Amino acid sequence: MSAAELRQRGVESGLRTPPADQMSPPQSDDESNFVVPSRGGKKATKKDSLAQPEEPDMPDDYVTRTLAREPALPPIEWKNLLSEIQWVSAIVLTTTPLLAIYGMCTTSLNWKTFVWAVIYYFMTGLGITAGHHRLWAHRSYIASKPLEYLLCLWGAGAVQGSIHWWARGHRAHHRYTDTDLDPYGAHFGLLWSHLGWMIVKPRRKPGVADISDLRKNSVIKFNHKFYLPLIFIMGFAVPTLVAHFGWQDARGGFFYAGVARLVFVHHSTFCVNSLAHYLGEATFDNKMTPRDSFFTALVTVGEGYHNFHHQFPMDFRNAIQWYQYDPTKWFIQSMQAIGLASHLKTFPDNEIQKGRIAMKLQKLHQEQASLEWPKHSNDLPVLSYEDFKEEAASRPLVILHGFVLDVSGFMDSHPGGRALLSTRTGKDISTAFVGGVYDHSRSAHSLAAQMRVGVLDGGYIPPQCKMDAVEDTPAVPTPPKDERDICDVARKYITPGEAYVVTKRSDLIANVRDSQGRVGKW
Ligand SMILES: [Zn+2]
Ligand SMILES: [Zn+2]
């Protein structure tokens, strides 16, 4: 089919891809705050929003293009603060803590109410972590309808926006992490990512995210449609009524299991956006801000291994080790055990381990770079054997594995005594060094390497070898058998990365040739 035919078909079917420079991001319900769900944007009807393509033909430079074309709102200052506040969110987030403090100061705490409040904290927390987050935002497992409704109700009790709104924002957070299209970008600071992004109007529209799958889900439609009554029933009525009918403590149920519990659940989830991008280790990747932390996991019902989560977002786990705290993972596994959840997704362990090893190697390289290492053979002057002998007459030089070592600073520190070194000045000590007299440790090899001042022309040349043969011919005379044995022993001591192989004399000769192809001289 020709390009013209394809274009014609597009016109006929009503499909049209605008030129990239005319493209604008799709409308979405970004403007809604986390309490009052929108109905698909200010102007669009619900029907329109359902018909809207979720993932238009995005240009490859979508992020930079969008940031350039859509200027951000002016920064928040004292003079524009009042006009920029999202009042519904701000009032909810400020009155609930005040109400909780008032309630706790005026209501005695029944231990049954305390236990119920803790249990209800975990139930509503799981509604967010196992429901809004891992099930709907990430599709990391399949839940049966009863479980979907249960998580929908629990999540409503956490009063953090409808599933639709929550998951859409979270998908944008993952797709545009640490860019200005991330609705709660950690790069704007801890306060912004924790609360600020809800209290003031968004400075710019979050990046586009595909939520077409969520629009089809009947539970999400139910949640979106009845969101306001649901948050009052699940957020306040249920905790109050359970305490009232259970042990006649309606007031305690309202203030402790309702309001105070809600404040804890709010800040528990908010910590996933703030603390989880700030505190802890970059176990799998340090390119972006997410971090792994036991403390964050503790206060977020197990969402604290956020570095892992951003690397492997479709994995139903946050913590992959059995001893790490992830009650959300345990809950999902329990649901699988009783047949209410299935198809739990995990990333291949091989890929996970590659990420971990890459970070370990990066740390080791950083540590390595902080140490002083021996000079590379290419950076050392090349001495002929005669020059070495001549120089050794005036200072204590020895040959070890083809390198010329100046041992003057070590003569008195040598554990074997000064004499062992001083009597070998001007000689090759390789045989003695690797077992002829004493089989030196790796540390001794490393220390000796630091004393390198030159490379012997031709590499590892025992004093008895004639230098003339090496001077003119790259071909290396075969060493006598006992010498090869010593070389084999020496090879064991070569540190990987130390560009020097004892037995390859010809390589070393090649290394030290100058630009004219001559073997170098000092
Ligand atoms: Zn995150
Ligand atoms: Zn996530």
Return the ligand number nearest the Cα of 176.
1
Q: Which of 435, 437, 442, 434 is nearest to 423 (CA)?
A: 437
- Ligand 2 center to residue 60 CA distance, Å? 24
Quote the CA–CA distance of 342 and 322 in Å, as a whole number.
20
Q: What angle do CA 108, 113, 115 make, to 5 degrees?
A: 125
Q: Residue 295: how many CA atoms within 13 Å on its side-chain side?
A: 10
Q: Cα of 132 to ligand 2 centre, how many Å?
A: 10
Query: Quick check: helix, strand or coil at residue 404?
Result: strand
Tokens representing 96?
A: 């609930």
CA dihedral 352, 355, 358, 359 (to 10 degrees): -110
pLDDT tens readout for residues 92-144: 999 999 999 999 999 999 999 999 999 999 999 999 999 999 999 999 999 99
How far apart (Å, rounded) are the C-alpha atoms in residues 33 and 87? 9
% residues pLDDT > 70 (the chain): 77
CA of 15 to the centre of ligand 1 (A): 35
On the question of pLDDT at 41 being above 50, the answer is: no
CB contact set of 452 (below 8 Å; sequence gap of 6+): 374, 375, 380, 403, 404, 405
Residue range 203-219, pLDDT digits in tens: 888 888 889 999 999 99
Give one word for 23, left, alpha or beta, with left for phi > 0 and alpha for psi -120 to 50: beta
Are 467 and 458 within 8 A, CB to CB? yes
Q: Work out the mean pLDDT of the chain and round it to a whole number.
A: 81
For 379-413, write each residue's pLDDT tens digit: 787 877 888 888 888 888 898 888 889 898 888 88
| Alpha-carbon gap, residue 170 to 182, rounded angstroms | 9
The pLDDT of residue 50 is 35
What is the C-alpha end-to-end distance of the chain, expressed in Å? 71
185: CA distance to ligand 1 center in Å? 8
CA of 303 to the centre of ligand 2 (A): 9
**Measured in angstroms, how far is the CA atom of residue 91 from the centroid of ligand 2?**
27
| 313 CA from centroid of ligand 2 (Å) | 6
> Position of tokens 């926006």?
161
∠ CA 311-134-265 to the nearest 5 degrees? 110
CA of 186 to the centre of ligand 1 (A): 8
Ligand with the closest atom to the CA of 274: 1
Q: How far is the CA of 103 from the centre of ligand 1 (A)?
A: 33
Summarize the confidence of residues 342-366 as an average pLDDT.
95
3-state secondary structure of 29: coil
Taking 90 as the threshold, does the pLDDT of residue 64 lie above it?
A: no
Would you give the DSSP letter of residue 79?
G
Distance from Cα 82 to the centre of ligand 1, integer Å? 29
Residues 143-196 have pLDDT tens digits of 999 999 999 999 999 999 999 999 999 999 999 999 999 999 999 999 999 999
Q: How far is the CA of 391 from the centre of ligand 2 (A)?
A: 67
Predicted TM-score (pTM) of the model is 0.74
- Reported as a pLDDT band with limits 50, 70 and 90, residue 287 is very high
Q: How many CB atoms lie within 10 A of CB 12?
A: 8
Q: How many residues does the chain have?
A: 522
Its sign, for the CA torsion 36, 42, 48, 50, is negative
How confident is the model at residue 133, as a pLDDT?
98
Q: What spacing in Å lies between the alpha carbon of 485 and ligand 1's midpoint?
A: 58
Contact between residue 32 and residue 167 where contact means Cβ atoms under 8 Å apart: no
Question: Are the C-beta atoms of 439 and 432 separated by less than 8 Å?
Answer: no
pLDDT at 487 over 80: no
Q: What pLDDT does 459 receive? A: 63
CA 354 to chain centre: 13
Q: Which numbered ligand comes closest to the C-alpha of 288? A: 1
Go through the domains of the chain in sequence order and give each one's CATH number.
3-273 (no CATH), 281-371 (no CATH), 377-511 (3.10.120.10)
